[in-house]
């Protein structure tokens, strides 16, 4: 593989984890290769048309890479996710999901709360949960291996502040991840 043909690399943060998307474009042959997490998912070795769009999925996300000529033999490559630019999609994801990254006994864990479905993901898999009402708000209980965990949802106390979500593992507050 000629690494000089890699023209685009993006990181996509989804509830099931972070995914690396790579795009190769041969500007003389029209070759197009898409890799997700280092696995080749699409290859076209020869194409007469050098510009256009390639559609693919990452998990449940519908993705499109657009290839546009900007001048002469210069091209611009953009990634859209679910019909939005990667930047807009990422901004929206930060509104609809909350993520925490922690280590337990030296093992990394990524916990994601999908605010719209209230699904809890641990290292890329939805886990069973149990909800409970408390004086502070609600708690969503689940397990991380042999460790008890819960996400507390409570009011910010401000009308525009919305709901605050906090993760506790073995009754210890875990700081939010800045994805």
Asked which of 82, 105, 126 is the last residue of a domain, the reply is: 82
Give the CATH number for residue 107.
Answer: 2.40.128.180
E strands, 31-129, in order: 32-36, 39-44, 52-58, 61-71, 74-81, 84-85, 97-104, 107-114, 120-122, 125-126
Asked which of 82, 114, 138 is the last residue of a domain, the reply is: 82
* Mean pLDDT, all residues of the chain: 89
Are 72 and 110 in the same domain?
no
Residue range 117-132, pLDDT digits in tens: 899 999 989 999 999 9
Residue range 25-84, pLDDT digits in tens: 987 777 899 999 999 999 998 877 788 899 999 988 999 999 998 887 788 999 999 999
Domain that holds residue 127: 94-174
Asked which of 82, 102, 124 is the last residue of a domain, the reply is: 82
- pTM for the model stands at 0.74
Are 24 and 76 in the same domain?
yes
Mapped to the 3 state alphabet, what secondary structure does 135-169 carry? CCEEEEEEEECCEEEEEEEEECCCCCCCEEEEEEE
């Amino acid at each position: 593989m000629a690494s000089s043909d890699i023209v685009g690399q993006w990181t996509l943060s989804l509830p099931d984890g972070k995914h690396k998307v790579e795009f190769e474009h041969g500007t003389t042959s029209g070759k197009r290769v898409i890799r997700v997490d280092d696995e080749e998912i699409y290859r076209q070795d020869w194409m007469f048309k050098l510009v256009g769009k390639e559609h693919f999925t990452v998990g449940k996300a519908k993705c499109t890479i657009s290839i546009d000529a900007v001048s002469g033999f210069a091209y611009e490559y953009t990634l859209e996710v679910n019909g939005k630019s990667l930047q807009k999609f990422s901004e929206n994801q930060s509104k609809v999901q909350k993520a925490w990254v922690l280590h337990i006994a030296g093992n990394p864990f990524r916990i994601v709360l999908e605010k719209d479905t209230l699904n809890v993901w641990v290292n890329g898999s939805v886990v069973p949960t149990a909800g409970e009402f408390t004086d502070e708000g609600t708690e969503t209980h689940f397990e991380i291996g042999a460790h008890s965990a819960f996400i507390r949802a409570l009011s910010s106390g401000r009308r525009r502040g919305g709901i605050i979500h906090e993760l506790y593992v073995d009754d210890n507050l875990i700081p939010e991840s800045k994805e």
